Amino acid sequence: MSNSEILVKELADKYGRNRESLMPILQDVIEVRRYVTDEVLVSVAKELDLSAAEVFGTASFYSFIDTKEVGKYVIRLCKTIVCDMKGKDAIIGALESTLRIKVGQTTPDKKFTLFTTNCLGWCHKGPAMLINDEVYTELTPGKAIEIIENYMHK
Ligand code: FES
C-alpha cells in the first residue's frame, strides 16, 4: 500500500465511508500535504465507494483544494469586483515582481505559489488576500510587499 493509500484509509476510518466524509477527508489531506494528488483522489473514491469523476469534480470545484503541487505558502489574492475596483491589479504587480513569478506559478524554491481567487468575504476591507489560512486586508502594493518579505524570512 502506498503512503497516500494509507493516509486516505486512516482518514476514512476517522470520518466514515460515506459521501459526507469527502470534504473533511480532502481538507485533512490538504492540511498534511498542502495539495491532493491524482493518486489521493483515486484512493478517496475507492475508500468512499464514489465515482472518480465525483471526487475529481468536487476537488476542482473548490479553489482552496489544490490539485497540483504548491509552495509552502499559497497566496490567494481576491480578483472579484470590489477588490478589483480597489486596486487588485497593482497588488498583483507588486506580488509578481517581488516573487518574480506570474499568477499561477510557484517560486523555484517552492516557498510561494501565487493565485487569484473569487471573493473572500472581506470586500469591505479590500483588496484582500489569503496566505494559507491567514487573511490580509486593505492591501496597498507596499503593504503586500512587506507581508511577503516577512514570509520570506520565516
Ligand atoms: S470582492 Fe474581494 S473580498 Fe469580496
Residue linked to cell 497566496: 75
Dig out the grid coordinates for 41 from the structure. Answer: 483522489
User: Residue 32: its pLDDT value, please?
Assistant: 86
126 lines ligand 1 (CB under 6 A): yes
User: Residue 80: its pLDDT value, please?
Assistant: 93
The rounded distance, in Å, linking the Cα atoms of 63 and 66 is 7
DSSP-derived secondary structure for 69-111: ---SEEEEEE-SHHHHHTTHHHHHHHHHHHHT--TT-B-TTS-
119 lines ligand 1 (CB under 6 A): yes
User: Residue 94: its pLDDT value, please?
Assistant: 98
Mean pLDDT, contiguous 10-residue spans, the chain (154 residues): 92 95 93 88 94 89 84 95 96 98 96 93 94 94 98 90
- H-run or E-run covering 130: strand 129-131
8 lines ligand 1 (CB under 6 A): no
- Give the sign of the dihedral formed by CA 28, CA 34, CA 36, CA 39: negative
The rounded distance, in Å, linking the Cα atoms of 98 and 92 is 10
Please answer whether residues 124 and 83 qualify as being in contact, where contact means their C-beta atoms are separated by less than 8 angstroms: no
User: Residue 71: its pLDDT value, please?
Assistant: 94
120 CA closest ligand 1 atom index: 3
User: Residue 151: its pLDDT value, please?
Assistant: 96
Give the residue extent of every domain in the chain.
3-61, 73-152
pTM score above 0.85: no
Dig out the grid coordinates for 64 from the structure. Answer: 482552496
Ligand 1 geometric centre to CA of 74 (Å): 18
92 lines ligand 1 (CB under 6 A): no
For domain 73-152, give the CATH number.
3.40.30.10
User: Residue 34: its pLDDT value, please?
Assistant: 85
The rounded distance, in Å, linking the Cα atoms of 59 and 105 is 19
Please answer whether residues 45 and 26 qualify as being in contact, where contact means their C-beta atoms are separated by less than 8 angstroms: no
